[in-house]
Every structure is written in structure tokens, then in C-alpha cells.
Amino acid sequence: MSRRYFGTDGVRGCVGEAPITPDFCLRLGYAAGKTLIADDHLRPGERPAVIIGKDTRISGYMLESALEAGFSAAGVDVYLAGPLPTPAIAYLTRALRLQVGVVISASHNPFQDNGIKFFSAAGTKLPDFVELEIEARLDEPMGCEPSSRLGKAQRIDDARGRYVEFCKNTFPNELDLRGMKIALDCAHGAAYMVAPKVFHELGAELVLVGAEPNGTNINDKVGATSPQSIRDAVLKSGADLGIALDGDGDRIVMVDAKGEIYDGDKLLYVIARAAKAEGGANGVVGTLMSNLGFEHAVARLGLPFARAKVGDRYVLELMHEKGWKLGGENSGHIICLDRHTTGDGIIAGLQVLAALRKQNTTLDAMCADLVFYPQKLVNVPIKPGFAWSGNAAISEAVEGATRELADKGRVLLRPSGTEPLLRVMVEGSDAVMVDRIAHGLAEVVRAAAV
């Protein structure tokens, strides 16, 4: 069955346009609640319950109320956590032994977008079949439980404190961040109250950026998707390094004292290198977009490497399949399964800092063996439904490019999940060759797509 509403990371769109409307979220809460009641394993007399968190978008108030009403009508109790990072809701769902966690966020998107994503009782993204069950129930008429069985709602006053302590406990007890000056960019998003507490309470001196949300400035020229902001803050303040999170706190980008930007591939390599030295790594999962130089560097560590489809849920699925503890995307989603059940920007940052502290070194030194291959990405507009993968001219061009690159590069064609675009990515050891091949392939796609 094909999905109508759920994408790779929940339901997402522009607020006020289907499906991100109050009436849809009301029905979504009801459908999700009914699915939970049908599939849960409650003890006799136990009531189903969910936790709802959100980022700092102004639309979060409206969508939170709609979801709360839907769950209540289905007979599900609701715990409201307020603004908290996505991974915090994953943690609290497990810690409070709840049936599901709900996050209202569009992650790194601008403020006019929003979305709804769910976590299971185990703190992981819901399986596809559960999301499909919820979608099926959306077609059924919405009802309402008798008054005696309606769900209740209450706020969790200590939600932030619980998560702060959880994050701090992933940092080695024998270490601290005293003497370290860190520029911290919270993207005016969900982490603006908890991330500063975590790093400050571990001893760091902080220079805060993007920590004054107003409902409409989330991700606006700040955060992990705009790393120039944290780079400027580091260079201006003389900080030892910078950490930038995205709007919902599950991505991270870092900057060293010289202003060099470290993406997800580089940070995952630092964590993997440190874990390998301590005997705690057995493999690394990346994605189709992970740099070939990253793959080769992981191999030099003596660790196996595997690529998942783009999307942190697919990275996590492959990690479970392989039984590996480390995985991530170059966009900054990093999953440390020995620390958390999902990607977490704060926790990933702490693991990088722990590696630097233990070895008394720098990001630059830790990444000295990591040489990225030049990479060129060209977005080619295509008509919806264009069968590019079965096109003879495109296939022939890809085969020719692959032969030319030989074992020193690769070609990847990938349709966008949100726009009518085909992304043409070429990677190799020779930047001039990579640029030429990428633009050549793009021209073939344009001609075939007419």
C-alpha cells in the first residue's frame, strides 16, 4: 500500500495547506489513538498514554491543541512536554513507559512549515505498517469515546530537566568541559533551553547563538543548515569550537577554532575512530550521499561500512540489521545506539567532545586521515512520474561515466522526495573530471525528460 501522508519522517507540509491543518491533525490524533488502543499490550486497568513535544514554531500551539483533542476523543491520555528536541521525546516516551511519542516539528524547514512524527514505546520511529494502519483509520468517520473514557491531559513540569540529565549521563563521568569555550547555535529551535544547560553544566563557557526564538525565526540564517552563523561566532569570540543544531535538535554541524566546518561525515568519523580505539565499534552505516573519502577512511580504521538510503530511519534500520552501533548522514544526523535509540545532535556533540578530551587533541588532528573526494551535485527538473531509471539514454550515460571514473569515483542519480527534481551526483578524485561528468549527465537527463 502506498503512503498518502507519511513520508520518511512523518507528515510534513506548509501550515494551513493539506495535510498540516487543524482538522487533519484532530483526525490524525484520533486515528493514531485508536490504532494504539487496538495494538497495545496494556495491563488490566492501565490507560493508554502519549507524550507530545514540539519545536518553537508559532503553529505548534494550534497543532498541539488539535492533536490533544484527537487523542482525548480516542480515550488516550496526553502528556504535554512543551518545546523539546525530537530525541528528547524519544527518550521520554521510553522513560515514562508510554505507548507513543509525538513531535510537532518540521526540523530544518522554515517556520511556515510544520510536521507530525511519531516514536514507538521503544523510542524508535514507528514501523511502516503502523503508519499505514493510521492512514487507513483516517478514512473512517471520527467518533468520540463516552465522557467516562475520554483521555486526560497534563503538562510534565520536569521534562527538560530529565532530558538534560540523560544527555549529561552519556558523557564520561571522569571528564568535563572546563576550560573550553564553545559557541552554541540552537537555531532558535527546540533545543534553545536544554542544550545550553547540558554544555554549561558540564563546565563549558558558552557563546550563545540562535537562542531567542519568537515563533517565526526558527532556522532563519542560523543552525546546522546555515553553518556560516556558527563559524562567524567562533571566529569573532575566539571560541575553541562551535556547535550548531537544527530546529528540532537531531542534527549537528561543528566548527573548529580556525573556522573549518565539520559535517556529519567528519563528525561520525571522529566518533568511530575514538570508538575503534577503545574497542567499542563494529561497523559504520552511512548513506548513498556519504562521501567516498569517508568510506575509505572508515575502511582504513578496519571497520566495515554499509550504505543505506537517504533518511535517518533507513540508517537506523540498517544499523539494526547489521548489529552495528554507529551510523549517520552527512547532513548531520548521527546515531549512537550505545547512547540513544535515535539521532541526537546534543549527544553526538558530546561524543565528539569526549573523544577530543580523552585524546587531548583537536577536530583537525582527528580528521587528518579523512580526505574528501570532490563532489558535484546538479538538480535537474523533471516531470512528475518521469521514468528516468528505465531510460536507455540515461542508463548508457551513467554506465559510461562509471567506467570513466573506474574505482576512483561513483555516480548517483536520486529523485528528490519533495520536489520534481532528479539529483545528479558525481564524486571522484579529480575535481575537473567530476564537474565535467556531472554536467554531462545532467544534460542527458534534461534531453530525455523533455
Q: Is the peptide bond before 110 cis (omega within 30 degrees of 0)?
A: no
What CA–CA distance (Å, rounded) separates 97 from 52?
14
- Model pLDDT for residues 386-402, shown as the tens digit of each residue: 999 999 999 999 999 99
The tally of CA atoms less than 13 A away on the side-chain side of residue 370 is 23
Residue among 72, 107, 120, 331 flagged as catalytic? 107
Nearest to 197 by CA among 157, 239, 238, 162: 162
Cα torsion 129, 134, 139, 142 to 10°: value is 160
**Residues sharing a CB contact under 8 Å with residue 368, sequence separation 6 or more, in sequence order:** none
Per-residue confidence band for 385, with pLDDT thresholds at 50, 70 and 90? confident
Q: Is 153 a residue whose pLDDT tops 90?
A: yes
Closest Cα partner for 199 from 158, 167, 228? 167
Residue 352's identity, in one-letter code, is V
Q: Which amino acid is at 370?
A: L
Q: Indicate the average pLDDT of the chain.
A: 95
Active site residue 331: no
Which DSSP state fits 407?
Answer: G
pLDDT confidence tier of residue 159, bands split at 50, 70 and 90? very high
Q: How do residues 206-241 score in pLDDT, each as one tens digit?
A: 999 999 999 999 999 999 999 999 999 999 999 999
Domains within the chain, CATH numbers bracketed: 11-159 (3.40.120.10), 177-262 (3.40.120.10), 263-372 (3.40.120.10), 375-449 (3.30.310.50)
Going from the C-alpha of 430 to that of each of 93, 295, 340, the distances in angstroms are 48, 17, 39
What is the rounded distance in angstroms from the CA atom of residue 244 to the CA atom of residue 186?
6
pLDDT-derived band at 407, boundaries 50, 70, 90: confident
Q: Is the pLDDT of residue 1 over 80?
A: no
What pLDDT, in 10s, does the model give residues 8-50? Answer: 789 999 999 999 999 999 999 999 999 987 765 556 667 899 9
**Which value, in Å, is the radius of gyration of the alpha carbons in the chain?**
23
Helix (H/G/I), strand (E/B), else coil: 144? coil
